[in-house]
């Protein structure tokens, strides 16, 4: 029997969302279901930045923890980086179709917490058709400052997995004043999709130099998330070598397993373990070897987690498999085996480097499949 990824609570979330979606009474809640927010819910996103030339220069994991505040109209959002360190915290007031920003802090200034200054216009999100405005600014101790204004508007309705959703656009202006007092301005156009009683599903944006994409890939309950954040050996990338697809095949680490690093453990994205040449050549490599009949009309997220050792060799593959509703599922064995064999056949990967050393590292590749077609590879 297939069990949901996060057991009863996620089933409840989807069930409640479906019930609300079929009610005749208009439902304007496009954030997480209020009952879920009482306990809290964590959304895991893949966040990618692509240069205008098509090269994906950065892909990271971002966690967003949503929870009800002191009252039912108060929403708290905490954002965490791939190492489970909190970067941001925001407090909002829910006012019908509108979400008003009340407080925002950043925790990533050398361990210090800095508060944003809020302007008179503070409507961060609006699910109505009228335009909403927000304005924030922050000054850092080194003299750098940033001022952000944005216009937000819901421009239409859509369906995501047969659930009602809103399309929201943002026009964001970012003005940076550098330490030498020179000023640069960036205009960013953003489109977001919010699913009824679910929250932010996806985001795409672009400025004159690069494009951005945020996509929801998993939901977590607060307790499992807190356990993952405990950085002992069983951290985010940990793989049990006795339960891998290739456990019988020889594979060597350069150092002890406990000394391995996660994929994000390098300040320079180019130094992380990855397919040589980046995402575009990886896609070409996969599709050149793909036999679509072996995908068996499958749909969902199929993630291969594995190790790239210091010599650039890959091994110790394992999988995470889920539906688009984030319930655990089992893909057809031939589908799993076929995609595993393609990844395993890569003769050479670029290993992780950092602090002057080439290191063994955990990494991952996620296939998004829809009706037997690969629609995207992440990161």
If pLDDT is split at 50, 70 and 90, which confidence band does 265 have?
low
Tokens encoding 260: 């391995």
The 3 state secondary structure assigned to 236-261 is CCCCCHHHCCCCCCCCCCCCCHHHCE
What gap in Å lies between CA 376 and CA 301, rounded to an integer?
Answer: 10
Q: What is the pLDDT of residue 57?
A: 59
Report if pTM > 0.75. Answer: no
Averaged pLDDT for residues 26-51 = 86
In the DSSP assignment, the letter for residue 55 is -
Q: What is the pLDDT of residue 14?
A: 42
Report the percentage of the chain scoring pLDDT > 70. 85
Averaged pLDDT for residues 285-300 = 95
Taking the CA atoms of residue 19, residue 24, residue 30 and residue 31 in that order, the dihedral angle to the nearest 10 degrees is -50
Fold of the CATH domain 7-221: YmcC-like fold (2.40.360)
What gap in Å lies between CA 326 and CA 55, rounded to an integer?
Answer: 29
If pLDDT is split at 50, 70 and 90, which confidence band does 195 have?
very high
In the chain, domain spans: 7-221, 231-378
If pLDDT is split at 50, 70 and 90, which confidence band does 294 have?
very high
Question: Contacts by 267-272 with C-beta closer than 8 Å and gap 24+?
Answer: 267/354, 269/57, 269/58, 269/59, 271/352, 271/353, 271/354, 272/352, 272/361, 272/363
Q: What is the pLDDT of residue 22?
A: 38
What gap in Å lies between CA 153 and CA 251, rounded to an integer?
Answer: 53
What gap in Å lies between CA 298 and CA 279, rounded to an integer?
Answer: 23
Averaged pLDDT for residues 238-267 = 78
CA 378 to the chain's CA centroid = 10
In the DSSP assignment, the letter for residue 292 is G
DSSP-derived pairing of the beta strands 300-308 and 361-370: antiparallel
Residue 264 predicted with pLDDT over 80: no
Which of 218, 222, 196 lies closest to 67 in space, CA to CA?
222
Model pLDDT for residues 339-359, shown as the tens digit of each residue? 999 999 999 998 888 777 888
Write phi, then psi, for 259 (nearest 5 degrees): -90, 0
Q: What is the pLDDT of residue 291?
A: 95
Taking the CA atoms of residue 88, residue 89, residue 93 and residue 95 in that order, the dihedral angle to the nearest 10 degrees is 30
Greatest C-alpha distance within the chain: 63
């Amino acid at each position: 029997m297939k069990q949901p990824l996060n057991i009863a609570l996620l089933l409840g979330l989807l069930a409640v969302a479906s019930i609300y979606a079929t009610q005749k009474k208009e439902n304007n809640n496009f954030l997480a279901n209020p009952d879920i927010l009482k306990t809290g819910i964590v959304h895991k996103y893949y966040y990618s930045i692509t240069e205008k030339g098509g090269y994906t220069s950065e892909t990271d994991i971002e966690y967003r923890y949503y929870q009800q505040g002191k009252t039912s109209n108060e929403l708290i959002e905490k954002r965490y980086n791939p190492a489970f360190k909190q970067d941001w915290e925001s407090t909002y007031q829910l006012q019908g179709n509108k979400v008003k920003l009340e407080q925002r802090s950043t925790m990533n200034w050398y361990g210090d917490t800095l508060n944003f200054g809020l302007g008179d216009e503070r409507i961060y999100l609006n699910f109505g058709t009228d335009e909403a405005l927000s304005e924030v600014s922050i000054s850092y101790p080194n003299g750098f400052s940033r001022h952000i204004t944005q216009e937000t508007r819901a421009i239409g309705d859509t369906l995501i997995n047969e659930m009602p959703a809103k399309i929201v656009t943002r026009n964001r202006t970012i003005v940076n004043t550098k330490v030498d007092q020179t000023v640069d301005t960036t205009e960013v156009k953003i489109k977001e999709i919010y699913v009824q009683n679910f929250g932010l599903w996806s985001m795409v944006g672009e400025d004159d130099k690069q494009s951005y994409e945020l996509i929801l890939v998993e939901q977590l309950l607060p307790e499992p998330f807190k356990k993952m954040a405990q950085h002992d050996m069983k951290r985010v990338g940990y793989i049990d070598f006795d339960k891998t697809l290739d456990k019988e095949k020889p594979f060597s680490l350069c150092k002890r397993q406990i000394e391995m690093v996660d994929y994000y453990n390098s300040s320079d994205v180019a130094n992380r373990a990855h397919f040589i040449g980046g995402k575009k050549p990886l896609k070409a490599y996969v599709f050149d070897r793909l036999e679509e009949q072996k995908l068996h009309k499958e749909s969902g997220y199929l993630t291969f987690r594995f190790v790239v050792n210091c010599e650039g060799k890959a091994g110790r593959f394992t999988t995470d498999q889920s539906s688009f509703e984030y319930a655990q599922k089992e893909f057809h064995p031939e589908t799993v085996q076929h995609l595993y064999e393609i990844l395993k056949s890569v003769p050479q990967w670029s290993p992780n480097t950092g602090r002057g050393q080439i290191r063994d590292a955990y990494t991952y590749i996620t296939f998004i499949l829809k009706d037997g077609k690969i629609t995207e590879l992440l990161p």
